[in-house]
Amino acid sequence: MLLTAQILTGLVLLIHVYIFLLETVLFRSRGMKVFGFPPETADMYAPLMSNQGCYNGFLAAALALGLFYPDPAIAQAFVWFGLGCVAVAGIWGAITAKVRIIFIQTVPAVSAMGAWLLVG
Shortest CA distance to 19 belongs to which of 55, 68, 63, 67? 55
CB environment 55-70: b (16+ within 10 A), e (fewer): ebbebbbbbbbbbeee
- Give pLDDT < 70 ranges for the chain: none
pLDDT at 120: 80
Residues 6+ apart with CB under 8 A from 111: 8
pLDDT at 54: 96
DSSP classification of residue 29: I
Alpha-carbon distance values, 85 to 30, 37, 45, 70, 103 (Å)? 25, 26, 24, 22, 15
Alpha-carbon distance values, 65 to 19, 21, 69, 73 (Å)? 18, 19, 5, 11
pLDDT at 1: 87
